[in-house]
Amino acid sequence: MKAVMAQTFGGPETLAVVDLPDPSPRAGQVLITTEAIGVGGVDALIRSGALAAYGTPSGHILGSEVAGTVAGVGEGVDPAWVGQRAWAFTGESGGYAELAIASSETLVPLPAGLSVVDAVTLGSSAMVAHFALRHAHFARGESVLVRGAAGGIGVVAVQLAARGGAGAVGVTTSSAERGDRLRGLGATRVLDRAGRGADDDPAAYDVIIDIVAGPDLPSFFGRLEPNGRMVVVGAMAGMPPADFGAQMVTAFRKSMSFATFSADTVPMPDRRAATAELFATAARGELEAVVHEVLPLDKAVSAHQKMEAGEVFGRIALTP
Ligand SMILES: NC(=O)c1ccc[n+]([C@@H]2O[C@H](COP(=O)([O-])OP(=O)(O)OC[C@H]3O[C@@H](n4cnc5c(N)ncnc54)[C@H](OP(=O)(O)O)[C@@H]3O)[C@@H](O)[C@H]2O)c1
């Protein structure tokens, strides 16, 4: 099979198209003939080595989610899966390939009306956005700010907040053009990356979903309402400053809550159920999969260069 290997930690040029023996599913696993492969910010972080401290590998096939047809099952897996079209989570590796292996526990059947490209575009990102809002105890009528809204997780968080009856949906993004596109998804206030916006911005939000973290994170404590909740789900701009904790305690009179959220803490059956529900919502036309571009698998380097250049709005999908 053809696959894309991340040969060493580094830039997009470390990705190489290689021919490998076809994999075989072990007990509990399925083999999928891929039809679409998701490309996300987390792939870029794994490729670069930024997540090496968490044990992410190098010298492996990159990619964590695929959609296609189940071509085989390992021991203990219901053979009725064979021939079914499904989305699957491959973990931290194995997705950028014509054939992928995944745990059968991650499989989500594709509903009629949802394309494989839309499935890998929503997939993990939509699931993370859903659980992050729940982790923040977001309730109808509350205001929500999504920091890093133009990415895979953000474009769904904006839509879910708007559909969930948010009183206001703020976004941070890097250009007015992106702001306009985010308004089309349900944003009502557009801020720049530093949190500056038009004069009519509400001073603060009940919930901040933060995909950016980095040096500017503490300045967003000032954007929280009393009893507001900030949930960090990503760190596209790196770690917050060393005095971040002190700045949080200094703002103690807001009674704010700061939390992190990782989908790793959500049991797989719950992840599957949420993903299936989000797919059904998209198939009904009530949730948009924001596809930046579809590229052939052997253009994975180009896909990563576009991510590095900050060009991607939503997500790129690869097709074998
Ligand atoms: N919590 C979980 O379970 C979980 C699961 C998967 C991934 N993640 C994490 O989520 C992050 C990836 O999320 P994603 O796929 O949505 O990201 P993404 O699509 O790559 O981009 C997110 C957005 O962040 C903004 N951004 C990028 N660099 C920035 C910077 N230096 N300063 C300010 N804004 C910046 C960009 O928008 P603008 O240019 O418009 O500002 C970009 O569109 C990673 O940190 C990953 O580890 C978490």
Please indicate, yes or no, whether residues 234 and 163 belong to a single structural domain of this protein. Answer: yes
Q: What spacing in Å lies between the alpha carbon of 76 and ligand 1's midpoint?
A: 37
Please indicate, yes or no, whether residues 43 and 158 belong to a single structural domain of this protein. Answer: no
Q: Looking at 263, 282, 307, which one is the last position of a domain?
A: 263
- 69 burial type by CB count under 10 A (0-12 exposed, 13-18 middle, 19+ buried): middle
For residue 12, is it within any domain? yes
Please indicate, yes or no, whether residues 49 and 145 belong to a single structural domain of this protein. Answer: no
Please indicate, yes or no, whether residues 74 and 156 belong to a single structural domain of this protein. Answer: no
List, for residues 104-150, the tens digit of each pLDDT value: 999 999 999 999 999 999 999 999 999 999 999 999 999 999 999 99
Confidence of residue 52 (pLDDT cuts 50, 70, 90): confident
Average pLDDT on 286-290 reads: 98
**Domains of the chain: total:** 2
Whole-number percent of the chain with pLDDT over 90: 91
pLDDT for res 197: 83
For residue 120, is it within any domain? no
CA nearest ligand 1 atom 31, residue:
237
Q: Is the pLDDT of residue 261 over 90?
A: yes
Please indicate, yes or no, whether residues 135 and 196 belong to a single structural domain of this protein. Answer: yes
For residue 115, is it within any domain? no
Q: What spacing in Å lies between the alpha carbon of 42 and ligand 1's midpoint?
A: 8
Please indicate, yes or no, whether residues 200 and 248 belong to a single structural domain of this protein. Answer: yes
Ligand 1 neighbours, Cβ below 6 Å, are 40-42, 45, 124-125, 128, 148, 150-154, 173-174, 178, 193, 211-212, 214, 233-237, 261-263, 307, 310
Residue 222: domain span: 125-263
Confidence of residue 202 (pLDDT cuts 50, 70, 90): low
For residue 163, is it within any domain? yes
Residue whose structure tokens are 């507001």: 228
Q: Concatenate the DSSP letters of all residues of 58-72 into one string.
A: SSEE--SEEEEEEEE
For residue 270, is it within any domain? no
Mean predicted lDDT score pLDDT of the chain? 95
Please indicate, yes or no, whether residues 258 and 131 belong to a single structural domain of this protein. Answer: yes
Average pLDDT on 181-188 reads: 97
Q: What spacing in Å lies between the alpha carbon of 153 and ligand 1's midpoint?
A: 7
Tell me how far apart the alpha carbons of residues 222 and 208 are, in angstroms, rounded to a whole number: 11
Confidence of residue 178 (pLDDT cuts 50, 70, 90): very high
For residue 272, is it within any domain? no
Q: Looking at 263, 278, 299, which one is the last position of a domain?
A: 263
Tell me how far apart the alpha carbons of residues 14 and 212 are, in angstroms, rounded to a whole number: 25
In angstroms, the Cα distances linking 279 to 70, 109, 149, 303, 317 are 18, 9, 20, 24, 16
| Beta-bridge partners for 67 | 36, 87
Residue whose structure tokens are 């401290």: 53
Please indicate, yes or no, whether residues 221 and 306 belong to a single structural domain of this protein. Answer: no
Please indicate, yes or no, whether residues 81 and 165 belong to a single structural domain of this protein. Answer: no
CA nearest ligand 1 atom 13, residue:
41
Which of 48, 51, 211 best tests ligand 1's pocket when mutated (most atoms within 8 Å of CB)? 211
Q: Looking at 220, 244, 263, which one is the last position of a domain?
A: 263
Q: Is the pLDDT of residue 53 over 90?
A: no
Q: What spacing in Å lies between the alpha carbon of 131 and ligand 1's midpoint?
A: 16
CA nearest ligand 1 atom 11, residue:
234
- The closest of 54, 37, 56, 61 to 46, measured between CA atoms, is 56
